[in-house]
Amino acid sequence: MRILRFAQDDSNVLRTLGAVGPLIALLATCVFFATRSDRFLTGDNLSIVLQQVMVVGVIAIGQTLIILTAGVDLSCGTVMALGAIVMTKLAAELGVSVPLAIAAGIGVTTLFGFLNGLLVTRINLPPFIVTLGTLNIAFAITQLYSNAQTVTDLPEAMNALGGTFRVGGTSVVHGVVVMLVLYALAAFVLRETASGRHVYAVGNNPEAARLTGIATPRVILAVYALAGVLYGIAALLSVARTGVGDPNAGQTENLDAITAVVLGGTSLFGGRGTVLGSLVGALIVGVFRNGLTLMGVSSVYQILVTGILVILAVATDQLSRRGAR
Amino acid sequence: MTAPVRVGLSCVALALCAASLEAQQPIIGLITKTETNPFFVKMKEGAQNAAAANGLKLITGAGKNDGDNAGQVTALENMIAAGAKVVMITVNDSKAIVPAIRKARAKGVVVIALDSPTDPVDAADALYATDNYRAGTLIGQYARAALGGRGPKIVTLDLLPGHPVGAQRHNGFLKGFGLAAPEKANNTLGKPPEVVCMADSYGDQTKGQTGMETCLQKNPDINVVYTINEPTAAGAYKALKAAGKEKGVVLVSVDGGCQGIRDVASGAIAATAQQYPVKMAELGVAAGAAFIKTGRKPAGYTDTGVALIAGQPMAGVESKDVATGMQSCFGRK
């Protein structure tokens, strides 16, 4: 089946474009800004872009897994915010030890992922509606639990991932390394392991996957739960980045994570795409935002360009599908 | 991971031949709560003019929506990367932004808060803002005078729970009205018995209307309405009119937007306390320019002023007329 799929790939120019298009876009963006500002291509500035995409980047890994199964998760950012409030409140206000507080935060986000997965697989509800519901539930719990107040004065250890180390003359945030390692792991699992191939198979054609003996519901459930774990890690990164537990965090990430995945060339219809593409997608947005500010141009244009690129990406995917049939 | 690495290398290669097109004017940044609110559009305009007059280049950024702290942190980092020596900011979350501001100041960047204070206030170098307690006091005094001898039945349509600006305006209003009121530094909303109904409007017209409708259900004989801002007042007026109660009610507000002043002219709003976003921006830019030139950092709180704009002047309460209010309003004239 794998060989067959690749044979199709090669026969289809648009599909190839779908795969390398995002990279070309990122490259072109870099070239553009490099010629516009001499501050863009400094180690420090590129490091800043990476630290600015690390939260949405990690969320986007979970989102990619879900979208590969032809699902979607609208609740990702809000669930992350809940995780962040749980871990900061436990550690800063209730005196729970930092590792335990972090584990509890990740536990809560995992629980939410698991809940999404259960509703999707056991009751067969559409992921869009399920996660629209859990988005609101997670938001309300976050506001109620935090009393709509930002949690401050966190123990030092909680911000450890926000600290930096030096590579050459550039300081790099620890959290960025966490993000890159997670991407490498996810890419390896998806490409090289049976479980990874099952995710693609389920998204491509759930019926065919079931007939070849793949436990489709179990794969989907595992994907949602794993996404929950990743949201928890993103929560920790977000806490480390801002130094506070912010009950209003995550609301832009809900859709930004989906944007990154789509810009990275992963198909919203499932079964096609790469997790590294999502990193490229997140970077495109981050580079635009950063570069425009360096040029002194309002960052609203970044939102405009992102919108256009999303439609281009989806259109390329859709046209390539039509071509394949 | 090879993809981003490859891109990074190509970027570096290109940098070597990329010519710098950047002008060497000193840079000053302005981060607003959102891009679209007329108050901040006017502030940006003022900052742009002041920056040009001082030979500075202004770069701007904003949160994506009201309350978006992460977006403001990102904008702040990018401005420092762009080489800004001074950043002015209207904070979305008074506490959550503080660690990012500390980091910026540790790098030698001067951070000036405009319009809203950080918590703690001294997290930023300086604050240029309306005295919101005084704004509340002015409209409280006016409402008391306008009500005449009637016993007050007050509705307050407030901002949102826990917000210092909302608390200061609300408590200032009570104080001006001559009721028991918490002091300026207190962020809990005072609730003397004369206040018969309170609702959170989030500064939003629709929510203001909903809140007023609910309060009218609870107490049909309301005669004073305090609102956190003019969109909320517009919503409240709509609800009052639908209930046929707009005549006997004194409706007061804060802001001084052009639409709000028009509502004062038409009599929908009795009086509003006008604040001055352009002045905040001008003072901020001037302080920034002084720092860039002389190295002297701005400090402390500067009141950017507030004036009562009323349709009908009341004896014993100093106010300005609608024409004066229109001259310095923000939004579409």
Angle at A165 between CA A64 and CA A249, to 5 degrees: 45
Cβ distance B4 to A283 less than 8 Å, yes or no, reads: yes
How far is the alpha carbon of B181 from chain A, nearest alpha carbon, in Å? 23
| A contacts of B161 (beta carbons < 8 Å) | 148
| A contacts of B7 (beta carbons < 8 Å) | 23, 26-27, 30, 280, 283
**Per-residue model confidence as pLDDT tens digits over B109-118:** 999 999 999 9
The one-character DSSP state at A162 is: G
| B contacts of A246 (beta carbons < 8 Å) | 69-70, 93, 96
CA atoms within 13 A on the CB side of A220: 31
Instruction: Specify if A17 maps to a domain.
Output: no
**Per-residue model confidence as pLDDT tens digits over A300-320:** 788 898 899 889 888 888 887
Considering only CB atoms, A276 lies closest to which of B3, B57, B70, namely: B3
Q: How far apart are CA A60 and CA B315, in angstroms?
A: 63
| B contacts of A58 (beta carbons < 8 Å) | none
Q: How far apart are CA B255 and CA B203, in angstroms?
A: 11
Burial of B24 (0-12, 13-18, 19+ CB in 10 A): exposed
Residue of B104, B116, B91, B128 lying closest to B298 (CA atoms): B128
**Per-residue model confidence as pLDDT tens digits over A114-158:** 999 999 999 999 999 999 999 999 999 998 999 878 898 899 999
Mean pLDDT within A73-99 = 96
H-helix or E-strand spanning residue A83: helix A76-93
Considering only CB atoms, B95 lies closest to which of A152, A187, A241, namely: A152
**Per-residue model confidence as pLDDT tens digits over B259-288:** 999 999 999 999 999 999 999 999 999 999
- pLDDT greater than 60 at residue A103: yes
How far is the alpha carbon of A70 from chain B, nearest alpha carbon, in Å? 24
| A contacts of B89 (beta carbons < 8 Å) | none
What the block records as the tokens of B166 is 């909302």
Cβ distance A148 to B70 less than 8 Å, yes or no, reads: no
Instruction: Specify if A11 maps to a domain.
Output: no
Best probe of the B interface among A246, A279, A290, by most B CBs < 10 A, is A246
Question: What pLDDT does A18 receive?
Answer: 67
Residue of A26, A24, A22, A60 lying closest to A265 (CA atoms): A22
Q: How far apart are CA B81 and CA B312, in angstroms?
A: 52
> What b/e sequence results for B275-309 when a residue is b if at least 16 CB atoms lie within 10 Å of its CB, and e otherwise?
bbbbbbbbbbbebbbbbbeeeeebeeebebebbbb
- Among B residues 298-327, those touching chain A with beta carbons less than 8 Å apart: none
Task: Quote the number of domains for chain A.
Answer: 1
Residue B226 near residue B173 (C-beta atoms within 8 A): yes
Cβ distance A244 to B4 less than 8 Å, yes or no, reads: no
Question: What pLDDT does B22 receive?
Answer: 43
By residue range, what is the domain housing residue A168?
Answer: 22-32+39-318
Comparing alpha-carbon positions, the chain B residue that sits nearest to A245 is B96
Collapsing DSSP to helix, strand or coil, B319 comes out as coil
Q: How far apart are CA B182 and CA B180, in angstroms?
A: 7
Considering only CB atoms, B22 lies closest to which of A37, A51, A187, namely: A37
Cβ distance B35 to A252 less than 8 Å, yes or no, reads: no
Comparing alpha-carbon positions, the chain A residue that sits nearest to B78 is A290
- pLDDT greater than 70 at residue A9: no
Question: What pLDDT does B175 receive?
Answer: 97
Cβ distance B35 to A298 less than 8 Å, yes or no, reads: yes
DSSP A215-252: -HHHHHHHHHHHHHHHHHHHHHHHHHHHSSB-TTTTTT
| A contacts of B20 (beta carbons < 8 Å) | 37-38
> What b/e sequence results for A17-26 when a residue is b if at least 16 CB atoms lie within 10 Å of its CB, and e otherwise?
bbbebbbebb
**Which domains are delineated in chain B?**
24-130+277-298 (3.40.50.2300), 132-274+307-327 (3.40.50.2300)
- Among B residues 72-91, those touching chain A with beta carbons less than 8 Å apart: 73-75, 77-79, 81-83
Question: What pLDDT does B38 receive?
Answer: 84
Cβ distance B1 to A183 less than 8 Å, yes or no, reads: yes
Considering only CB atoms, A38 lies closest to which of B22, B61, B95, namely: B22
Instruction: Specify if A231 maps to a domain.
Output: yes
Amino acid A117 reads: G
The one-character DSSP state at B298 is: P
Collapsing DSSP to helix, strand or coil, B16 comes out as helix
Instruction: Specify if A255 maps to a domain.
Output: yes
Considering only CB atoms, B7 lies closest to which of A23, A241, A242, namely: A23
Q: Name the percent of chain A lying above pLDDT 70.
A: 93
Instruction: Specify if A4 maps to a domain.
Output: no
Regions of chain B short of the pLDDT cut 70: 1-23
CA dist list (Å): B120 to A208, B29, B97, B102: 60, 22, 11, 12
More confident residue, A251 or A177: A177
The CB density around residue A212, as the number of other CB atoms within 10 Å, is 11
Mean pLDDT within A46-69 = 96
Cβ distance B14 to A55 less than 8 Å, yes or no, reads: no
Cβ distance A41 to B69 less than 8 Å, yes or no, reads: no
Question: What pLDDT does A39 receive?
Answer: 86
How far is the alpha carbon of A269 from chain B, nearest alpha carbon, in Å? 24
ipTM reported for the complex surpasses 0.90: no
- pLDDT greater than 50 at residue A248: yes
Instruction: Specify if A179 maps to a domain.
Output: yes
Q: What is the CATH number of the domain that holds A147?
A: 1.10.3470
Considering only CB atoms, B64 lies closest to which of A35, A150, A252, namely: A252
Chain center to CA of B94: 13
Amino acid A214 reads: I
Instruction: Specify if A194 maps to a domain.
Output: yes
